[in-house]
């Protein structure tokens, strides 16, 4: 089997990675977020829908997602005031001033 056909075979078996934008409407949305991360997707989560109802709940969700991202080897960061980005392993988020390999 040639190298190009082996590569095509591996790519056919590997599910695609999507960048998904999701609103955080309620605390239970955290399960969908975790499921999408487990599927290898990169998520941009808009916090405003839940923040307009309950800012303490947003803080709780973010804390739980930070722990989850660390546990699975992913990453999480703020994108301005209204959004966060969460990545699955091995995707890491570049941060200004942080030493990279």
Asked whether residue 57 is assigned to any structural domain, the reply reads yes
Which DSSP string do the residues of 3-17 spell out, in sequence order? HHHHHHHHHHHSPPP
Asked whether residue 100 is assigned to any structural domain, the reply reads no
Strands (DSSP E) contained in the chain are 19-23, 42-46, 75-79, 83-87
In the block, tokens 């999480």 appear at 76
Kindly state the greatest CA–CA separation across the chain.
58
Ranges in the chain, pLDDT < 50: none
Please give the pLDDT value at position 93: 96
Asked whether residue 80 is assigned to any structural domain, the reply reads yes
Please give the pLDDT value at position 3: 60
CATH of the domain at 37: 3.30.110.150
The tally of domains found in the chain comes to 1
Asked whether residue 76 is assigned to any structural domain, the reply reads yes
Please give the pLDDT value at position 13: 78
Asked whether residue 38 is assigned to any structural domain, the reply reads yes
Mean pLDDT of the chain: 90
Asked whether residue 5 is assigned to any structural domain, the reply reads no
Please give the pLDDT value at position 44: 98
Nearest to 19 by CA among 34, 36, 2: 36
Please give the pLDDT value at position 96: 87
Please give the pLDDT value at position 8: 61
Asked whether residue 4 is assigned to any structural domain, the reply reads no
Domain carrying residue 34: 16-87
Asked whether residue 25 is assigned to any structural domain, the reply reads yes
């Amino acid at each position: 089997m040639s190298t190009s056909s082996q590569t095509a075979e591996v790519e056919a078996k590997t599910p695609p990675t999507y960048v998904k934008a999701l609103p955080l409407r309620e605390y239970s949305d955290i399960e969908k977020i975790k499921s999408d991360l487990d599927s290898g997707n990169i998520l941009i989560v808009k916090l405003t829908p839940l923040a307009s109802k309950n800012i303490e709940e947003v803080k709780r969700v973010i804390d739980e997602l930070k722990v989850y991202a660390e546990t699975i080897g992913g990453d999480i960061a703020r994108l301005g005031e209204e959004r966060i980005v969460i990545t699955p392993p091995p995707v890491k988020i570049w941060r200004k001033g942080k030493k990279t390999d």
